[in-house]
Chains A and B, each alone.
Chain A
Amino acid sequence: MQAAYTIHRRIVEGLTSLVVCGLSLILLLYVGNGTAKQNYEEIYIEKLLSQGEIMKSAIEARLRSGLPLRQFVGFASAAEPIMTSDNSIAGIAALDSGGQRVFAAGDKKIDILPQASVFRDYRGAGELRSSDQFFQLVLPLDNKFENVGKLLITVTRAAIESRVESDIAWLAKIGALAAFAFGAFVFLFGPKLAHTRTPWIAICYGAIFLAISGLLVSTLITLYADGVRGKADALANSLAKRLDDVVLANINFDDVHGLDKVFVEYKRLNPDIRAAALTVDAKIVSHTDPNRQGTRWIIRDDYEYAVRINPENASSEVKVIVALPKEVVYRRVVRSVKNFAALFVASGFFALLFMDLAKSVQMVSARNVARKENEVEGESALNLVKPVYFLAVFVENLSYAFLPQYVKGVVDSAGMSANFASTPFIAFYLCFALALLPAARVERKFGARALISTGLLLSCVGLLTMFASADYYHILAARIISGIGQGVLFIGVQSYILAVTTHENRTRGAGIIVFGFQAGMISGMAIGSLLVRNLLPSGVFAMGAAIAFAALVFLLAFVPRIHLVETAQRNIVSLRETWSDLKIVLTDGRFLKTMLFVGVPAKAVMTGVILFALPLLLAKQNYLQEDIGQITMIYAICVIVASNYLSKLSDLRGNTESILFWGTILSGIGLVIIAAFTWDQLAKPLEFGSWMTIVVIAGVAIVGIAHGFINAPIITHVSDSDPAARIGAGTVAAMYRFLERIGHSVGPLIVGQLLIHWNFKADVLGWIGLAIILFGFMFLIKKSPAKASHIEMKGAA
């Protein structure tokens, strides 16, 4: 029965849609703004370095000839063009070895930032220091004998940020308009569209999200391209500065030789440029390609930067020209935009979540109108618990991008042995695993919702502890609390899902865990690494705690209780009974073979190959860290997508065995494909987007899809086993979750040993793939050989 569309309901739905769309776009633009600042800053700092080098070489040329720094008279003329060309630069100064200011241009009151503010160390070639207000490039000034001072170029952070913010601001206005338009659309057409088969509201929401994303990406491209071109301009100026001394000295270029070496060396140091040349009246005097000497400069489809180095009124025109291929700018821009992918995906997950949440809240609202109680027990309950788990995983992963360095810093500053740095991490995983079985027992007494609440509360306390103290032992305690919290929460969510789902939609329910885990992990790591730049670790911990608390409030307010009668036994069973339960599952053939041939190998492949071996092998092939991270992300996305589809299919067909079989087989095939990336014909050091990369991505994607076949259906599969009838589906699922940790643990161990034995050749992954395929067949044959020939790939069609 359809709930009536009153004006009140239309207003609520319109407003909800406005809020959901607004929140999604705010998050998208926030991460876009954050990543743009980060990347633009990087590009800007590269340009600043080039400009700094121009000044430094101009001063040092004189210092090396024996001139004391105080007697260098060209400071103002060297600083002036840099200051004029870039209004972000607040000041340029030269200090002597005693730290006294000798020269200054621009703001003369800016002091050298303290040593403690070093943001980046260029190993003897200089430092970048930072404060809330400034970035400061500190370059040493050396003569032939020693260091005689420092050159400071100070940039106002706000000026760099405003360049980004002005570009993002107009997008924010468009986003606000779009959100209002969406709200109005739902208000006006919601009732009508509710009866159509096509999900127009979802399509409209997706279209707005994608359109704003497209505009954002286009803005990023413009921004980054400007930055890269600015750097090339600075490079041209640096070369011109070296050569204009010849003109200033009234010497002809015919009086000197070896200029070609200067150009060849310049190209070697700046491999991105296509060519650089010195021309006199457009005739090439020297060129990065010595064969071009004497010819005329040919204009190509490049970005060209020309700097005249002799006076305007001179009879001839002497120029330095640097040509930068457009593809270099494109490549750099694409790389920067590609690095936005993780954040875009994270924003997309949140957008999906907000939409699901809105639907669920609307269902609750509709229930109040229609009084259809039973609906709550089903889909809306699942949809309501989904964001809770997602957020719990999200907050846990917010700190993962920086936690290792953070803990190491704490250990170092406390003067402790470096070995202590890993203890909090080990403690977390140990407590997570150890909490699983007791949590299952507690759930029988207090129910799944209580477990989820406890898990969220513990996560919140763990994060608050991290926020409040940077003491090593407090951090250790916090990680223990968080580990227990996440373990308890995991079992709580799993039990809740098992309780509110029927046999027909159980796999779909388990898919929520897969989604929550993978999407929460990706989003948390991506957004956490962005947030830490502004909020610092303590701020991220505080924000994590706040989100965990908000999730707890949401849980208590919206997620319905489930009746304890559905969760088998109510009493907390003893340790002996747990052991007895464990014996029951471990002596069940179906459970055992599922665990040993499907579940444990799948987890071992995830931790041992995807998270451990593959990054090592890719790094060996000179892949950048960010590319490796993105390839790993592809795995997670494929798991989510496949899991979503396969969960529905599994519930529809009910044949989890064939889905698990094909998942295992596909996983093996994926590994064999990954192993192909060192085959001789493919093993060229190609870049992202090359054949080699495509092969790796294809392999990783297949493994991800394969694990999407396994992760959720396996819970349904073990929950349908004989032991489930005796000790309860929740207990069996918890036992399985505990036991599959064996795969998590032994994966890196086994794969690591194999890699060492095979001298880090990717071939080993191929052999592991073949073994996994064999396991797939053993999973079938051992159970019911007679049926094996009848297995059809029903689920994967």
Chain B
Amino acid sequence: MFSPSASGFRGAAFACALALAIIPGIARANDEFRSEWFGFGSEVKASWRIEAMPNDNMRVIVRPKWLAEEHVKRRIVVLYPRASSAYNVAITEILHVFEDKQVDVEFHVINFDRKDDKGKASIREAEAMNANMIISMGSESTAWLWDNYRGGKLPVVTVCSKDPVTLGQANNYESGSGTNFAFTSLNMPIDSQMTYIIDLMPELKNIGILVDKTNVSAMETQAKPIADYARKKGLRPFMLAISRPENAAAELRTLVREATASMQKSDVDLTQSMFVVTGSTSVFNEIRTINREASRIPVLSLVPEIVQAGDDSAAISIGISFESNAHLAAVYASEILTNAAAVKALKVGIVSPPDIAINFKRTRAIGLKVPFSFFEAASTIYDPAGKLIRSPSVVVSAKQ
């Protein structure tokens, strides 16, 4: 019933490392609290009390410090399938949003370790404690809950989960699920994603899609839809799929070099071609190799975090970050808790506009002009000198 892929673990490992690198203060443990699987931003402790259960190391309780215990009327059970730095980012953002909104709620975070019996026990316990909601953390939890708790008593809000429409969990993006599930998505709908890509390069002819063949979800929710869309629109897709992640660098070197040469036949100055890096850890881990072999062809990432300072970065990224997705999920959860919205009526939550990150050092190096609308909407920008000038925590505020 439950079969986690190897690529899932690899992705988690990379994301974990990445998140630890880019998000200041994310901690796996500290003096008062230690957990093998539950991490959070250190600033969370200022407003939340994190308590480990002495008899159950797969459970954590998070209580608001600003409210006396007797005043906390609501409970949310958060179901983790395993450890992931992405989940650390997500839970941190969720706690921030609930703190901002001053919602009286405590969180019971349970790692069910992708085991049916533990999962079912968690659901029973949630109902028994009169929890108000379950937050499903990650695609694995969402898939399991969809199979085992669809139509259940408690509302479920998904976070850090892949596109429910592509996965067949939701019928469309326009209406609610009609069930006890309110979905959010880490993926942009393909039409929307491609509209941004065409805006970036209106004369696009060739599109190289870089993916790990063994990463099923990246293949199904990103690579194949892009290729199908490209064919429909008369573009020439190059499916550049590595087959052995451990040999990614070598495979990518060959694949990208050959694709570049092939693209140049129809696009001599390489101004109408683009490489798209999907959310495959083994692929985006090799961004330096990809950049080197891509020549002047822009490399666009679907994972916002791949745009970083310096040259080892995608030129631009268009996607949804864990943080943004978690923020939207928290807003959904808050609306359901406060009866501002009905769970079955909430349409699939997709962050719009998406998170855009731009590295002007890379764009200038390859001669790519960025649409002004991207510049205005970007949440992360590195200037031509590689300096971070805009991010959720950095703002250029006054004239120099």
Contacts and interface: CB of A to CB of B under 8 A. Distances in A.
Given A65-B391, A244-B399, A246-B375, A255 B363 contact: yes
Interface in A242-260: 242, 244-251, 254-259
B384 A251 contact: yes
A144 B397 contact: no
Interface string A59-85: 001101111100111100100000000
Given A66-B324, A66-B379, A145-B331, A258 B372 contact: yes
Interface string B139-181: 0000000000000000000000000000000000000000000
A248 B400 contact: yes
B190 to A, nearest CB: 20
A71 B372 contact: no
B194 interface: no
A38 interface: no
A595 to B, nearest CB: 65
Interface size class of A (residues with CB under 8 A): 35 or more
A97 interface: yes
Given A242-B376, A255-B360, A250 B397 contact: no
A64 B323 contact: no
A335 interface: no
A66 B377 CA distance: 11
Contacts of A261: 372-373
B383 interface: yes
Interface in B311-353: 323-324, 327-328, 331, 351-353
Contacts of A98: 102
A589 interface: no
B24 interface: no
A311 interface: yes
A145 B399 CA distance: 29
Interface in A472-527: none
B380 interface: yes
B353 A65 contact: no
Contacts of B380: 65
Contacts of A254: 369
B376 A245 contact: yes
A312 to B, nearest CB: 10
B395 interface: yes
A144 B324 contact: yes
Nearest to B397: A74
Interface size class of B (residues with CB under 8 A): 35 or more
A145 B327 contact: yes
A147 B232 CA distance: 38
B390 interface: yes
A796 interface: no
Given A251-B384, A256-B375, A77 B397 contact: yes
A311 B379 contact: no
A146 interface: yes
Contacts of B353: 64, 144
B349 to A, nearest CB: 9
B389 interface: yes
A62 B395 contact: yes
B384 A250 contact: yes
Contacts of A97: 100-101
A65 B331 contact: no
Interface string A173-216: 00000000000000000000000000000000000000000000
A262 interface: yes
Given A66-B323, A144-B351, A262-B372, A73 B395 contact: yes
A257 B369 contact: yes
B390 A65 contact: yes
B68 interface: no
Interface of B: 96, 100-102, 199, 323-324, 327-328, 331, 351-353, 355, 360, 363-364, 369-373, 375-381, 383-385, 387, 389-393, 395-400
Given A249-B383, A251-B384, 20 more contacts: A65-B378, A66-B355, A67-B395, A73-B395, A74-B397, A144-B324, A144-B353, A245-B375, A249-B389, A249-B390, A251-B375, A254-B369, A255-B363, A255-B364, A256-B370, A256-B375, A257-B369, A258-B371, A258-B372, A311-B399
21 contacts: A62-B395, A66-B323, A67-B393, A71-B393, A72-B395, A72-B397, A74-B395, A96-B100, A97-B100, A145-B331, A244-B399, A248-B400, A249-B381, A249-B389, A250-B385, A255-B360, A256-B371, A256-B375, A257-B369, A258-B371, A262-B372
